[in-house]
Amino acid sequence: MDILMTPPVAGKHQAFFYSNTSLLNKMPALVAVLLTFSMNSGITLLQYHLICFYTCLTCSMAIIYGVFSASNLIAPSVVAVIGPQLSMFLSGLVYSGYIAMFIHPFTWSFYTASVVVGIAAAILWTAQGNLLTINSTDATIGRNSGIFWALLQFSLFFGNMYIYFAWHGHVHILDKDRQTVFISLTVISLVGSVLFFLIRKLEPEATPCEASESLLQTESTESASIVVATPGLGSQALDAFKKALQLSVTKEMLLLSISIAYTGLELTFYSGVYGTCIGAMTQFGDDAKSLIGLSGIFIGLGEILGGGVFGMLNKGNRFGRNPVVLLGLITHFVAFYLIFLNIASDAPIAPEEGTHLQAYITPSVEVALLCSFLLGLGDSCFNTQLLSIVGFMFREDSAPAFAVFKFVQSITAALAFFYSNYLLLHWQLLIMVVVGFLGTLSFFVADWVVVSSRRDTDYDSI
C-alpha cells in the first residue's frame, strides 16, 4: 500500500525521493501514499467502533487475507503484464471502492468487496515491492525500506487521528455520522489513487559489470543486425508465476518464511485484536471506545520512529539487520508481558457490553498506550529488515519474491483473525512469543547465509 523511494547514487542514477529531480516529480508519490492509505489505515479501527459490524468484520478480514494469500500466486503475472505503476493505480481504485461500500453497507456487498479487495491488495503489495527494489541499490535497499515503511505508517497515524477526533466522545454512532465519515474517506482515497498514476516510471540502474557486458553485446550485434523477438504477455505472465513457485521452496525463502509468518500474526494482533481488547475494558471508563483510535495513533508513532531511525542507521548496512530484528523481538516481548498484566484475558472475546474482569494489575490507560507504541516499534523492526533482505536476496526476481512474502504473511494473518474469535488473550500472546522467537532465529540464519554468499562472491571476484 504504498510507494518507494530511491536515494542519490553516484553518477547517472536518478533518485526517487532523494534526487535532483524537481519537487513536482516527487510530490505525487508522497501525497498518493498519505491520502490513499491514511483513509484505508483507519478503516479497520473505525469498523471496530461499530459494534454491530464486529462479527462480520472478523469474518471479512479472514476472507480478505485468505483471498489475499491465494491471489499472491497470480499477482506477479499481473504486474509483469500491466506493469507496477498501473497495478498500483487500479488497486488503489479498488481500495477506494471498498471504503465507499460502507456508506450503505449490505451483507452481500460487504463480503463481495472483501473478496475483490483481497485480490487488489496482493497486486498492490507485489507492485510496490517491485518498485522499491528497482529504485534501490544493494547499498541503499535497507535505508529505502526504512523510509518507505515510515512513510507508509504516517498514513496509519493520520488515519487513526482522523477517526479519533471525528468520533471522540461518541458512545453510539448514528448512521448519519457514519455516512459522513465514509464519504469523506472515499473522496480522499480516490484522490490518492489517481495520484498513483503520476508516479515517475524509473528503470533499475545497471551495475558496472552489467553495463560492460551490455556494451560488448551492443557492439557485437550492431554488425550482425540481429533482431530478437520480445516475449509475449502470456509468456511473461507464465514465467512470473513459475518463478514465484520456484522461489517459495528455496532455502533462503523457507528460512525467512517463519519470520514472515510472525509478522502476519502480530499484524492481526495490533491492527484488530489489541484495539478490540482496549475497547472492551469497561474499567477504562466511557472513553474506552475512543481509545481504540488513540491506540492506533500510538502504534503509528512507533512504526514511524522505527522505520525512520532504522532506515537511516541501515544506510550501507553498517549495523547489519540482526541487531534491529533482535531489538524488535525484545520490544514485542516487553509489550506482550505488559499486555498480559494489564488487559483481561477474556477481552478479545468479550460481549458487546465489554468485560468487567481485571488482569494482574489495575488497568492503566497509560500502560495500554505504551504497549501500542511498543507494538508499532517492534513491528517496524521486523518489516523494515524483511523488506530489505528480500529485496537484496531476490533483486532479479523482486515481484515474485514479494508475492511469496505477502502470501506467507497473509496466510498467517487470516489464521490469526480466525482464532482471535475463540482464544483467550494469554493463549494468543503465547502463540506470538513462540513463533516470534523461532522467526528471529531463522532470520539470523538467513542473514548469515546472505553474508556468507556475498563474502564468497567478493572473494571469487578478486
pLDDT digits (tens, 9 = 90+) for 323-373: 999 999 999 999 999 999 999 999 888 877 778 888 899 989 999 999 999
C-alpha distances (whole Å) from 253 to each of 109, 179, 433, 455 are: 37, 44, 22, 20
What pLDDT band is residue 184 in, cutting at 50, 70 and 90?
Answer: confident
pLDDT band at 16 (very low <50, low <70, confident <90, very high): very low
Better-scored residue on pLDDT, 298 or 209:
298
- The confidence score (pLDDT) of residue 368 equals 93
pLDDT tier for residue 223 given thresholds of 50, 70 and 90: very low
pLDDT for residue 275: 86
pLDDT digits (tens, 9 = 90+) for 45-60: 555 555 445 556 667 7
Integer CA distances (angstroms), 273 to 121, 148, 403, in order: 21, 25, 25
Q: Give the pLDDT of residue 460.
A: 44
Structural domains of the chain in order of their starting residue, each with its CATH number: 23-203+246-457 (1.20.1250.20)
Q: Are 105 and 443 in contact (CB under 8 A)?
A: no
pLDDT, tens only, 370-397: 999 999 999 999 988 898 888 888 877 7
Are 368 and 291 a contacting pair, CB within 8 Å? yes
Q: Is the pLDDT of residue 2 over 60?
A: no
pLDDT above 70: percentage of residues in the chain:
66
Give 441's pLDDT tier (boundaries 50, 70, 90). very high
- Taking residues 152-178, report their average pLDDT: 68
Residue range 66-81: mean pLDDT, rounded: 83
The pLDDT confidence band at residue 436, using thresholds 50, 70 and 90, is very high
Q: Is 228 exposed, middle or buried (0-12, 13-18, 19+ CB in 10 A)?
A: exposed
3-class DSSP state of 10: coil
Find which of 183-197, 243-257, 333-347, 354-368 is predicted with most confidence, using mean pLDDT: 333-347
Predicted confidence band of residue 295 (pLDDT cuts 50, 70, 90): confident
Contacts for 353 with CB less than 8 Å, ≥ 6 apart: 282
What pLDDT score does 109 carry? 84
Counting Cα atoms < 13 Å in the Cβ hemisphere of 296 gives: 36
Specify the higher pLDDT residue, 366 or 229: 366
The residue among 41 and 311 whose pLDDT is bigger is: 311
pTM over 0.85: no
Residue 217 has pLDDT above 90, yes or no: no
**Per-residue confidence (pLDDT) for residue 57, from 0 to 100:** 63
Task: Compute the mean pLDDT over every residue in the chain, rounded to the nearest whole number.
Answer: 75
Whether residue 211 is predicted with pLDDT greater than 50 in this model: the reply is no
